[in-house]
Amino acid sequence: MHRPKCHIAACLGGLLLAVAGLVATAARAESTPYYLGGSLNLSQESNLLGLADGVAPPPGLAKSDTVTSSSLLAGFDQPLGRQRAYANAALRHIRYSQNTSFDNESYTLAGGLDWATLHNLSGALTASASQALANFNLQEIGLLQQKNLQTTRTLDAVLRLGVAAEWALEAAGGQRKVSNSLDLASVQARDFNQDSAALGLRWRPSSLANFSLFGRQTRGRYPKFRSSAAGFEADRFERRDIEFGAGLAASGASSLDLRLGMGSTRYDLNERRDFDGTTGALAWNWQPSAKLRLDTRLSRDVGQDSYAVTVLNTPGLADYSRVNDALHLRVDYEASAKVSLSFGATQSWREIVRTLDNPGVPQDASDRERATTFTLSARWVPTRALLFGCEARNDRRRGGGVLTAARVASDSFSCFAQFTLQ
């Protein structure tokens, strides 16, 4: 018997309409630890390809585009005595009006288990997997005209022993793997595996203050860092850090959080990217009223965006986020029980370095890029099961050196509708 095929967009749309018919009933139903839902998102992108001002898109591609995304959502959050298990899943079908070669199916999966015993022993186990279309800076590996899906998988575990009411010993370990689907050497060089471990002590002298001191070790590997006669040559690195953390509730409406780390990174092949220095973040959260909240964060981090390049037939290395300094501001305002507004602003400064293996070729270069992002969003929750929202976003990047474009600008506007049965 012949069965008609269902295109994924039509199937999702039909399912959304079918489930939406149950929303009124679900809104009156008793709450459960499980949920099932869906969402539709429509966005307009003025510079989808990230082109610099004055640069035309290549044949077959369009600079601006309209993007439609339909999603299925599911999850649960279930207490199990002293334990808690939870999981969330989102399956998305994304279509581009002009750049149809980028049409894709993506997903996000995450879950975990929080556990505790009667003898001050507790911990957590979390895992996640995601797949999404990857976008790279054009000055890094050039414009990718084909679809490249980047898959990320993580696994993390924490073991905590409460020595006394104020003290706790903590051990943690994790693994992260990143892979790309596009079979190009410049893209495959971005594949990345990392293992990490940490051991430290937490101290909470009162409900208003907490402190921590951790030692961390991270080992990473780029399995396809650059091509060789035998196929690919891998690059490995090791990073060691000592990290201090502090949290202070200055008042009932204000709190400060500090993370300060001193560390060193050493690479097997990419020795010019070795790093010794300070990283960290300082965050201030202030809630002057029940409806208004302000979050400010100043951070300094070391990136992992290094890959092989060739200039004048000379092999080299480019590091596109050796050090990144950023200032973030977010303001949330609840206009009513059903309407909320948010404003965000980010200013970042990124150091960029390119080095060559042949010192006789004067192509070594360094540069800095400044990026500014503004966002304004609104959300409306008319019922417990329905959520609507819109967001406007403005991005500007400025450089103008050897390794950056003088100006890259993009604007986007998106709206979504989401329902949840629970």
pLDDT of residue 380: 97
pLDDT in tens, 144-178: 888 999 999 999 999 999 877 799 999 999 999 99
Task: Kindly provide the b/e burial profile for residues 378-393, where b requires at least 16 CB atoms within 10 angstroms of the residue's own CB.
Answer: bbebeeebbbebebeb
pLDDT digits (tens, 9 = 90+) for 251-263: 779 999 999 999 8
Residues in the chain predicted with pLDDT less than 70, given as ranges, are 1-31, 136-141, 272, 303-322, 354-364
C-alpha 389: how far from chain center: 21
Listing DSSP states for 239-302 in one string gives EEEEEEEEEEEEETTEEEEEEEEEEEEEESS-GGG-EEEEEEEEEEEE-SSSSEEEEEEEEEE-
* Number of domains composing the chain: 1
> pLDDT value at position 5?
41
pLDDT in the model for residue 188: 83
List the Cα angle 235/240/242 in 5-degree steps.
160
Question: Among residues 178, 264, 181, which one has the least CA distance to residue 222?
Answer: 178
129 belongs to a structural domain? yes
Would 1 be classed as within a structural domain?
Answer: no
In a domain, 62, yes or no: yes
- 2 inside domain: no
Which residue type does 183 have?
D
Here the tokens at position 420 are: 């949840």
The CATH number for 274's domain is 2.40.160
The pLDDT of residue 402 is 73
Residue 338 forms part of a structural domain: yes
Question: Residue 206 sits in which domain range?
Answer: 8-421
Is 67 inside a domain boundary?
Answer: yes
**H or E element that contains 16:** helix 8-20
The answer as to whether 3 is a domain residue is: no
Within-domain flag for 108: yes
Token pair listed for 348: 């970042």
| Residues across the chain | 422
